[in-house]
Amino acid sequence: ETGVTQTPRHLVMGMTNKKSLKCEQHLGHNAMYWYKQSAKKPLELMFVYNFKEQTENNSVPSRFSPECPNSSHLFLHLHTLQPEDSALYLCASSQESQRNIQYFGAGTRLSVL
Amino acid sequence: GENVEQHPSTLSVQEGDSAVIKCTYSDSASNYFPWYKQELGKRPQLIIDIRSNVGEKKDQRIAVTLNKTAKHFSLHITETQPEDSAVYFCAASTPGNTPLVFGKGTRLSVIA
């Protein structure tokens, strides 16, 4: 699949579990983003990585831990989440020089029980 | 920082009618305004965008208008079809290669 691929598409986890979300982009981009999409709320930017370096962390709780091993892969490690963290988590990528033109993955629907 | 308000949150129209979604932004320096369409269970996809040096842009049945003085921009969909049913997001960004700030989204339902 070309573009931005996210796995898994759906995830159910308990509050004590540890899981990871994966994002991979095949567009040759060098900036990657994590967004949280909750019902009736704007897309919330969580993290931004440029050339594997984290450049933004929008006051995200430490129970969310991002990792960017290279420009094509982005992970979001989850531990001790809360039910209110249930949401659609979207990954996006862009060229660093054009951060306003982003391509999104299909998202991971996360449910925290 | 930038704040984007989007209205309405839900919109139902009859097939063939027009739909209009409006957004306002707070930062007068914003210069790029994209619109994304997200169908149920699918990724947000860019459908049209406009830059601050243009007042209107059209692509087939979709058009976007920008009023810089009033700091608002709108999405217009004419001759709506059931496949237009989706959530539409507006966004804005300022110069300096900043990330997008999104509106809350509008759920459009086109009734056949």
Considering only CB atoms, which chain B residues are within 8 Å of A96?
A: 97
Nearest to A40 among B9, B41, B42 (CB): B9
Instruction: Look at B101 and A107 and tell me if their CB atoms are within 8 Å.
Output: no
Instruction: Look at A42 and B104 and tell me if their CB atoms are within 8 Å.
Output: yes
Tokens of B60: 């087939």
User: What percent of chain A lies above the pLDDT cut of 90?
Assistant: 67
User: What percent of chain A lies above the pLDDT cut of 70?
Assistant: 98
Mean pLDDT of each 10-residue bin along chain B, 112 residues long: 93 98 96 93 91 91 96 97 96 84 94 93
Instruction: Look at B99 and A45 and tell me if their CB atoms are within 8 Å.
Output: yes
Residues 6+ positions from A62 with CB-CB distance below 8 Å? none
Beta strands at A64-70 and A53-57: parallel, antiparallel or unpaired: unpaired
Is pLDDT of A90 > 70? yes
From A29-38, A51-60, A102-111, B39-48, the region with the lowest mean pLDDT? A51-60
pLDDT at B41: 81
The pLDDT of A67-92, averaged and rounded, is 94
> What average pLDDT does chain A have?
90
pLDDT at A9: 94
Instruction: Look at A4 and B43 and tell me if their CB atoms are within 8 Å.
Output: yes
Instruction: Look at A102 and B93 and tell me if their CB atoms are within 8 Å.
Output: no
B3 shares contact with chain A (CB less than 8 Å)? no
Instruction: Look at A43 and B98 and tell me if their CB atoms are within 8 Å.
Output: no
Q: Where are the beta strands (DSSP E) in B15-112?
A: 19-25, 32-38, 45-51, 56-59, 62-67, 72-77, 86-92, 101-102, 106-111
pLDDT at B94: 87
pLDDT at A2: 61
- Considering only residues A21 and A99, tell me which one the structure prediction assigns the higher pLDDT: A21
Tokens of A27: 């567009």
For residue B73, the one-letter residue type is F
B103 shares contact with chain A (CB less than 8 Å)? yes
pLDDT at B1: 81
How far is it, in rounded angstroms, from Cα A8 to Cα B79?
Answer: 37
* Chain B interface, best mutation among A4, A34, A43, A51, by max B CB count within 10 A: A43
Tokens of B81: 């079809």
Give the pLDDT confidence of A8-50 residue by residue, as tens digits.
Answer: 999 999 988 899 999 999 999 999 999 999 887 878 899 998 8
